[in-house]
């Protein structure tokens, strides 16, 4: 088997025989054979002899790289085996004698045969060389760059992440927000997603999305336009351009940010892989914002996964007549929080004190009047004049106090005198100060 994805059973048997002979009989020939077998197994990356700690780490990385060819993303059963046996132990079971009973608990004969077939064809060293050729790397649990929040996925945690881009994934993920939504979005949705992407980037947040058409692409472009940080989580190999129409965008993300994925180089996406990819987006970030989604949108899968993981779930409302906003509105009726811009998103996912500005309408000149002067102004008819005595009775003021306040309103430009009567000025009766709807 090329590339060292898994050793043939013979080296392990030889290693065991050599060790027993060396300890028991002490014959030089058998001891030399045991040492040679141990060295041969170690050179393939899965030996059980004493190894340098750094070599052991690389053995683990190589084994996990092979397993990304064997176990599909989100496979809980495969994740359980990985947790119980370790990467190298699991790979040895998959490449060991096919008649070994109970090699993998819970696996059906047909399922186990499929795992073994994929394991036999895995070539991790070729995959590691392929990702290195495009400037990438393979990140595994235990690496300083591994985002530990992915551990919240339990046995569905990625085996590892293939990544292209210079930044440190763990550091970027600590301050990240997912922006997801419909592929066939409206101009309204695209505008909002780009505004969220640029607004979050300007505030020092990393924008995470899936590089798909529509909302995903708009969010990435918004972050890139602000010279900000963005991460694309793909449902294929990081060296595969999908969708092809986003070749330039994905290249820009790799240059300015990060492109990551669970699948090994060269692997192509499938519908199920898109859905399973969404759990990584949800777990990687502090919160998920949905901009436009139908009832059966994959974006809702991301949002609900984020909610299950204890992350913030947010939605941007749209027209109630739009089917593309129906899923978002359903989400808002449940677990999600309504947001309209980046400041409100940061208020939810940020640190204490990251508050969105208070929202209110403009301050009008009428708002600056004291209550009695405001009541006097409201007592004026919209058209025509009024005498000071009638105004005093309407407001409940004395004639002298009414006269003083009328002259104050006159100096502020609200009213004017017509003979011995008063009327509203054109500015007061037709301008933006006019109160509508009883407000």
* Cα 181 to Cα 289: distance, rounded to the nearest angstrom: 8
CA 222, chain centre distance (Å): 15
Look up residue 120 and give its two tokens: 């036999």
Distances (CA, A) of 245 to 180, 193, 217, 269: 18, 19, 10, 15
Does 243 sit behind a cis peptide bond, omega within 30 degrees of 0 on the bond before it? yes
Average pLDDT over residues 46-67: 73
pLDDT (tens digit, 9 = 90+) per residue, 355-396?
Answer: 667 777 787 788 888 998 999 999 999 888 999 999 999 989
* pLDDT for residue 17: 35
- This prediction has a pTM of 0.76
Q: How many CA atoms lie within 13 A of 279 on its CB side?
A: 20
Cα-Cα end-to-end distance for the chain: 79
* pLDDT for residue 54: 66
Confidence check: pLDDT of 142 > 50: yes
Task: Name residue, tokens 């930044």.
Answer: 167
Task: Name residue, tokens 């359980």.
Answer: 80
Per this entry, what is the length of the chain?
439
Least trusted range by pLDDT, from 44-58, 277-291, 372-386, 402-416: 44-58
* pLDDT for residue 12: 38
Confidence check: pLDDT of 170 > 90: yes
* Cα 389 to Cα 240: distance, rounded to the nearest angstrom: 84
* pLDDT for residue 15: 36
Average pLDDT over residues 130-152: 96
* pLDDT for residue 143: 95
* pLDDT for residue 108: 85
* pLDDT for residue 111: 87
- Report all structural domains of the chain as residue ranges with CATH numbers, in order of start: 2-122 (no CATH), 148-349 (3.40.50.450), 365-430 (1.10.10.10)
pLDDT (tens digit, 9 = 90+) per residue, 192-222?
Answer: 999 999 999 999 999 999 999 999 999 999 9
Q: Please report which confidence band the pLDDT of residue 262 belongs to, taking 50, 70 and 90 as the band edges.
A: very high
Q: How many CA atoms lie within 13 A of 126 on its CB side?
A: 11
Percent over 70 (pLDDT), the chain: 82
In what helix (H) or strand (E) does residue 180 lie, and over which residues does it extend? strand 176-181
The neighbouring-strand residues paired with 287 are: 312
Residue environment code for 57-72, b if the CB has 16+ CB neighbours within 10 A, otherwise e? eebbbbbbbbbbbbbe
């Amino acid at each position: 088997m090329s590339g060292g994805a898994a050793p043939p059973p013979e080296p392990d048997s030889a290693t065991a025989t050599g060790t027993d002979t060396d300890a028991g009989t002490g014959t030089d020939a058998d001891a030399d054979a045991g040492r040679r077998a141990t060295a041969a197994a170690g050179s393939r990356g899965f030996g059980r002899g004493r190894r340098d700690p750094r070599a052991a780490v690389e053995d683990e990385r190589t084994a996990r790289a092979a397993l990304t060819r064997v176990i599909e993303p989100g496979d809980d059963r495969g994740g359980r085996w990985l947790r119980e046996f370790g990467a190298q132990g699991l790979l040895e079971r998959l490449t060991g004698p096919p008649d070994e009973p109970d090699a993998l608990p819970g696996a059906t004969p047909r399922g186990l045969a499929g795992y073994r077939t994929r394991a036999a064809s895995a070539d991790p060293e070729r995959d590691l060389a392929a990702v290195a050729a495009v400037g990438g790397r393979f990140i595994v649990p235990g690496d300083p760059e591994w985002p530990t929040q992915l551990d919240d996925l339990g046995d569905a945690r990625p085996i590892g992440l293939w990544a292209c881009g210079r930044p440190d994934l763990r550091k970027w993920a600590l301050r990240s927000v997912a922006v997801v939504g419909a592929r066939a979005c409206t101009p309204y949705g695209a505008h909002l997603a780009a505004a969220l992407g640029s607004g979050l980037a300007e505030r020092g947040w990393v924008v995470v999305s899936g590089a798909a058409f529509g909302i995903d692409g708009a969010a990435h472009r918004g972050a890139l336009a602000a010279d900000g940080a963005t991460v694309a989580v793909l449902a294929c190999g990081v060296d595969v351009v999908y969708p092809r129409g986003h070749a330039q965008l994905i290249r820009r993300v790799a240059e300015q940010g990060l492109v990551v994925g669970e699948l090994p180089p060269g692997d192509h996406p499938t519908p199920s892989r898109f859905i399973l990819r969404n759990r990584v987006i949800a777990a990687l970030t502090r919160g998920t914002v949905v901009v436009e989604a139908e009832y059966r949108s994959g974006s809702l899968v991301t949002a609900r996964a984020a909610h299950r993981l204890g992350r913030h779930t947010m939605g941007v409302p749209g027209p109630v007549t739009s089917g593309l906003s129906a899923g978002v509105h359903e989400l808002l009726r449940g677990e999600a929080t309504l947001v309209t811009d980046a400041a409100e998103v940061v208020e939810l996912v940020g640190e204490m004190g990251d508050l969105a500005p208070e929202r209110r309408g403009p301050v009008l000149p009428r708002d600056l009047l004291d209550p009695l002067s405001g009541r006097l102004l409201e007592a004026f008819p919209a058209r025509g004049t009024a005498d000071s005595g009638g105004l005093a009775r309407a407001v409940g003021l004395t004639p002298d106090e009414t006269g003083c306040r009328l002259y104050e309103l006159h100096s502020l430009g609200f009213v004017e005198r017509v003979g011995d009567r008063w009327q509203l000025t054109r500015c007061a009766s037709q301008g933006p100060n006019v109160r509508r709807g009883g407000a």
